[in-house]
Amino acid sequence: LLPVLAIVGRPNVGKSALVNRILGRREAVVEDVPGVTRDRVSYPAEWAGRRFTLVDTGGWEPDARGIDASVADQAEIAVELCDAVLFVVDSRVGPTATDERVVQLLRRTDRPVFLVANKVDDAAQEPAAAVLWSLGLGEPRPVSALHGRGVADLLDDVLKAL
């Protein structure tokens, strides 16, 4: 059985864009409208000659309990079934209440968690990523899923943990 890498985070942070960047093709649906990815979608992936399963999450309809609860539910299911977690945050927005909710959940897992500061498209955005140290999940890893910046370094470290 291949190791499973789950990508969690609230809608619109760029989870599907990161999936496509890792796969090297446009397979996951990237949308300006939050919530397009349906439930969990698994993709066979390979990096540096190692194969693993990549799980994209989404599909939460804001229900009666609100978006925070449904994002947390999705993240919880994904964390249960994976070997390592990429927690994606939008560095241009900074940590939100929904992000904090996922952080609570991730603090309880014994799986390795990588804090991904997405949308760092250039060096000028790096300080925005550093703000995410405040989440208490260790070093924020600045990446641009859209342009590929930082993704190779991140994946090299993730594979060591898988």
Which is closer to Mg ion, CB of 24 or CB of 138?
A: 24
Interacting residues of 151 by C-beta distance below 8 A, sequence separation 6+:
18, 21, 22, 143, 144, 145
Instruction: Verify binding: residue 16, Mg ion, rule CB under 5 A.
Output: yes
Q: Say if residue 9 carries a ligand binding annotation.
A: yes
CA 142 to chain centroid: 12
Buried b or exposed e, range 64-77, using 16+ CB within 10 angstroms: eeebbebbbebbeb
Nearest distance in Å: CB 49, ligand GDP: 25
Smallest separation, CB 30 to ligand GDP (Å): 4
Closer to ligand GDP by Cβ: residue 31 or 83: 31
Which tokens go with 2?
A: 């291949």
Q: How far is the CB of 23 from ligand GDP (least distance, A)?
A: 13
Q: Residue 5 in contact with residue 53, Cβ under 8 Å?
A: yes
- Size of residue set near Mg ion by CB under 5 A: 4
Q: Is 119 annotated as a binding residue?
A: yes
Site residues for ligand GDP per CB under 6 A: 9, 11-17, 30-32, 34, 37, 58, 118-119, 121, 144-146
Looking at beta carbons only, is 23 or 161 nearer to Mg ion?
A: 23
Candidate list 4, 6, 45, 58; residue touching Mg ion; CB under 5 A: 58
9 binds Mg ion (CB under 5 A): no
- Between the CA of residue 153 and those of 106, 147, 159, what are the distances in Å? 22, 14, 10
Q: What is the strand order of the sheet 41-47 is part of?
A: 41-47, 50-56, 4-8, 84-90, 113-118, 141-142
Q: Which segments are annotated as binding site for GTP?
A: 9-16, 56-60, 118-121
